[in-house]
Amino acid sequence: MLNNEKDKNILRTQHGVIHTPFFMPIATRGAVKGLTSEDLESVGAQVVLSNTYHLWLKPGDDLIEKAGGLHKFMNWNKPILTDSGGFQVFSLGKWTKFSEEGAEFKNPINGEKRMLTPEKSIDIQLKLGSDIIMCFDECIPWNCDYEYAKMSVDRTTRWAKRCKEYFVSKVDWNLDNTDRPLLFGIVQGNRFQDLRKQSAMELQEIGFDGYAIGGADTVSATHDEMMETLKFALDYLPEDKPRYYMGSGKPEDIVGAVKLGVDMFDCVIPTRNARHGSLFSYQFSVNSYQLTTANDDRKFYETMQITNAKYKSDFGAISDKCDCYTCKNYSRAYVRHLLDTKEMLGMRLATIHNLKFYLTLMKILRG
């Protein structure tokens, strides 16, 4: 439960309390690329996101269960959310075939056929020991037609019901949040408002611990288009349950979504951009008032392409407004040199900085 009188802005899980709103660094295969668990602690990570699809294929859910669960396997004692694998079978499975049963695809590692069903997705996530489990949903192209989107929403609802039924057959639904995993449903509907409403209402009838908004076009849609789609979906989701905007991660989009009432975020932007030398820094000393009231035309941050030649002899910190390990110990020139020579340390230092920027942003937004 979230935002009631007792637990306002707190999400309780088996592996601890998470303060909202929060951002989840992406640990797809059980690791945030280049970082240790200690690094994640140092930047203020409360929770990480790992992926069912990838961990199922390698090293396998049975092996991770044998290791004592994903927390022990990756040496992370805080909460973990696992995605269901629905997006991966859509985006990575070249030969994926969707049916009422689930999604059949070719394992990209060895070519063997695999079938991921709602029940299988939940079973894998339970073996991983996830704190927040996502329902298996059907992801579809943003520019698809209405009939296909309607069919997909109907199927996602049926799959969500199967996920809930399988989950409660394995876990006592009446246990407190700290004694069992949480189960989230995912609102689909593409760009069609009536389908978003239908999906949100049908999932609430099934009943979940929280609700995610999936299937948004976070690449080609404008900020205003994203906020409009998000606002409409949020109007039909309960305020006393966690609300999770999946895959959206530009800083200005996070600020706008928090203003609308979103509690949870994830995105590859801070870690992926860091590995390519694109680093974030604040343009001015910020506080919660400036961030939550900033106009769209007043960006509170800037991006630095640290690999540019102008930083070759720049011995200042990446940002004098940042107290991350990288900024306290290394110069722009040194980080640029490491990335230019493809030293792994460069990617680690850049990733630490970008995640610190994002997690500081969330701390500011919490007030």
**Which residues are tagged catalytic?**
83, 266
SS3 category, 138: coil
Amino acid at 342: K
Residue indicated by tokens 């996070």: 254
The phi-psi region of residue 255 (left if phi > 0; otherwise alpha if psi is between -120 and 50; otherwise beta) is alpha
What distance in Å separates the CA atoms of residue 142 and residue 21, rounded to the nearest whole number?
A: 27
Residues 190, 187, 239, 119, Cα dihedral to 10°: -170
Strands (E), 170-216: 182-187, 210-213
Q: In what helix (H) or strand (E) does residue 226 lie, and over which residues does it extend?
A: helix 223-234
Tell me how far the alpha carbon of residue 86 is from its chain's centroid: 14
Residue indicated by tokens 């007043």: 298
Quick check: 37 and 74 in contact, CB under 8 A? Answer: yes
The pair of three-digit structure tokens given for residue 283, joined into one six-digit string: 């343009």
Tell me how far the alpha carbon of residue 218 is from its chain's centroid: 13
